[in-house]
Amino acid sequence: MYRSTVPAIILACLSLTACTSSSGPESLMAGIPSKETTSSVTPSAPVPQASVGQTRATLRAEPAQKVLAWGGPLPQEPKAFAAVDQQAEPRRAMPQIDTSMSPQAGVGLPDEKSVQMAMAAAPAINAGPAVRSRIFRSNFSDAKPINFGKVTPRHFAVHGVDVSRWQGNIDWERLRSRGANFAFIKATDGGDHLDPMFKTNWNRSKAAGLRRGAYHFFYWCRPASQQADWFIRNVPRDPDALPPVIDVEYNGESSCKMRLPRAKVLEKMQVFMDMLERHYGQRPIIYTAPDFYKDHLSGEFLNYPFWLRAVAQHPSKVYPDRKWMFWQYSGSGLSHGVEGKIDLNVFSGNEESWLRWTSRRGNG
The residues annotated as belonging to the active site are 249
**8 A C-beta contact, residue 172 and residue 195:** no
Q: Which amino acid is at 50?
A: A
Task: Report the candidate in 210, 245, 321 with the shortest Cα–Cα distance to residue 38.
Answer: 245
Q: Which residues pair with 188 in a beta bridge?
A: 194, 216
Task: Report the candidate in 148, 149, 198, 201 with the shortest Cα–Cα distance to residue 170.
Answer: 201
Distances (CA, A) of 99 to 165, 169, 302, 322: 34, 37, 12, 12
SS3 of residue 59 by DSSP = helix
Alpha carbons 150 and 262: distance in angstroms, whole number: 34
Alpha carbons 113 and 123: distance in angstroms, whole number: 19
On the CB side of 36, how many CA atoms lie within 13 Å of its CA? Answer: 30
* Phi–psi pair at 103, nearest 5 degrees: -55, 135
Alpha carbons 191 and 195: distance in angstroms, whole number: 12
How do strand 342-347 and strand 159-163 relate by DSSP bridges? antiparallel
Q: What are the DSSP calls for 226-285, one per residue? A: HHHHHHHHHS---TTSPPPEEEE---TTSS------HHHHHHHHHHHHHHHHHHHSSPPE
**8 A C-beta contact, residue 138 and residue 330:** no
Q: Where does the chain have alpha helices with state H?
A: 5-15, 56-60, 112-118, 129-133, 172-177, 198-207, 224-234, 262-280, 290-292, 315-318, 351-359
Q: What is the dihedral of CA 310, 315, 318, 322, to 10 degrees?
A: 130
Angle, nearest 10°, between helix axes 262-280 and 224-234?
Answer: 30
